[in-house]
Amino acid sequence: MNGLHSDALVFFGATGDLAHKKIFPSLHAMVKHGYLNVPIIGVAKVDWNLDRFRSYARESIERHGGGLDAAAFDKLGDLLRYVEGDYKDAATFQAIRKELGSAQRPIHYLAIPPSLFGPVVEQLAKAGCVENARVIVEKPFGHDLASAQELNRILLGSFNENSIFRIDHYLGKRPVRNMIFVRFANVLLESFWNRNQIDSVQITMAENFGVQGRGAFYEQTGAIRDVVQNHLLQILAYLAMEPPVKTDSTSVRNEKVKVLKAIPPLEAKHLVRGQFRGYRREAGVASDSTVETFAAMQLSVNSWRWQGVPFYIRAGKSLPVTCTEIVIRLRRPPTVFPTCLPAQNYFRFRISPDTTSAFGMMVMDPEEKTTGQQVELLASRHPGAEEMNAYERLFREAMAGDATSFAREDYIEEAWRIVDPVLKTDTPVYEYAPGSWGPTEVDQKVAPPGGWQNPIVTS
C-alpha cells in the first residue's frame, strides 16, 4: 500500500470547530491546486443533509480560507458526502462503507476527542473499512505516557504503524521545515553545531494573548501538554538530530527518536510553571486552578554532540509578543582588547511571525574605542499570501503515504516519558503579570547563561 495514493477521505468530526477554521479551507486549497479529486465523506452526529453540509463548507472557506474560488468550490462540493450518526452505532459505519463505494484505499481522519478513537477504530474494523486504509489522528495524543501507550495499542490493533499518521500541524509549517533545510544545506553551521562551540540553546514560544475563551480546554491541558510535549520537543529534535542518511520518513524519524532517547526525564528543579493574573476569572477555569499558562525548563541531550550543552524551553500566554524563536549561543571568545568584553556570538532562527536566520557578531564600535558593539547579519522572509498552509501540506503527504512530518509510535512515547514525571509532581505555580515575560522566578531558577534573549517583534 505504501506509495499508493488514498482514494477516499473519511472525515470524522466534520462539523467541528477545527473543521470550520482549518480543514475546509485546506481541502478547498488542495482542490484549487489540483491535489484532491477523491470522495470526501464527512461524518458527525449533527442532523444535517448534504446541502447543509456543503453550506457549512462554503461558510468556512469564505470566513477562514482567504476567499472562495468558485470553480474549486464547485468541484469540492461535488466531492462532498455526509453521514450523520453516532460513533458507537454500527449503522453509522455501514453508511460510511456504502458511501465509500469502490474505494479501496481510504484514509480516515479522526478530528475527534481521543476518548472516541477506540469506538471509531473498532467500528471501522467491523464494517470492513480498515483494510489497505490509513488513519490520521489529531492531537492531543494522550495526556500522559500511559494514555498515549493505550491509544497506540488501540490504533495498532487495526492499522500497521506505516498507515498511522499522528498529526502535529506545526511540522507542516514552512518555517519549521526551513529550519531543518538550513541546518543541513549550509556547511557553515555544521562547523560550530556541537558541544565544543555552543554554550546553550534556548527555544521561546510566546503568545501575547490569553486562552481566548478556551478556559475549559486549557484546564485539561496546560502549557506543557499543549505546546511543549509536542511542538517544542519537535523543534528541539530538529535542532539536535544528526544528518539522516536519506530523506525518507524512516531515516528522518529515526534520527529524531535518537535525540529524545538521549534526553533524561525533566526534573522538578529544572522547571518553573506560571499562571497569568486573571486566568482564574476565565469561563471554565477553576477559582483555585493550578494549571500553568507558562512553563520554562532546562533539558539536556546526552549524546556525543550535545553532552554538557543545556537546552532551555519556555512557552506561555499573555507574554509581550507573539513569536517563536530559537537562539543558539556560542562560547565566549578569549579577550584580546582590554576595553572589550566580547558578547557571545549567536545564531537565531525565527519561525514566526516571519522566517529569520541571523548571526549575531561583534564589530568595532562607532567611536573606535575598541569596546565593540553587537550587530546581526540577517536573512528574513515574510510569508506570502499564496503560501501553502500546514494542513494542506500534511493532508497531501498523508494521502500520498509520506509519514516524514508525522509522529511515530516510539517518538510519541519518548516525548511523554520526558515530561511525564513533572506532570505527576505537585510543583508550584507562580503568578505573573499579563504582558510580562513570565514569573520572576524564571530568571532565578531556569535561565540560560547570560539570561534569556527576548524576541523583538516590529509591526
Residues annotated as catalytic (active site), given as ranges: 231
Rounded to an integer, what distance in angstroms lies between the CA atom of residue 440 and that of residue 20?
39
Residue written as grid cell 452505532? 89
Give the other-Cβ count within 10 Å of 287's Cβ. 6
DSSP track, 314-380? EEESS-S--EEEEEEEEPPPPP-STT--PPPPEEEEEEESSEEEEEEEEE--TT-SS--EEEEEEEE
167/390 Cα distance (integer angstroms): 10
Closest CA to 271 of 421, 129, 149: 421
Q: How far apart are CA 432 and CA 278, in angstroms?
A: 10
In 3D space, the residue among 123, 30, 44 whose CA is nearest the CA of residue 79 turns out to be 30
Q: Which three cell numbers stand for residue 413?
A: 512515547
Shortest CA distance to 155 belongs to which of 124, 99, 117, 200?
Answer: 117
Q: Which of these, 197, 458, 227, lies nearest to 344 by C-alpha position?
A: 197
108 φ, ψ to 5°?
-105, 125
Contact 104, 4 (CB under 8 A): no
97 membership: H or E segment, kind and range: helix 90-100
Task: Name which of 203, 211, 139, 214 is nearest 415 in CA terms.
Answer: 139
Name the residue among 363, 347, 342 with its Cα closest to residue 197: 347
CA 396, chain centre distance (Å)? 17
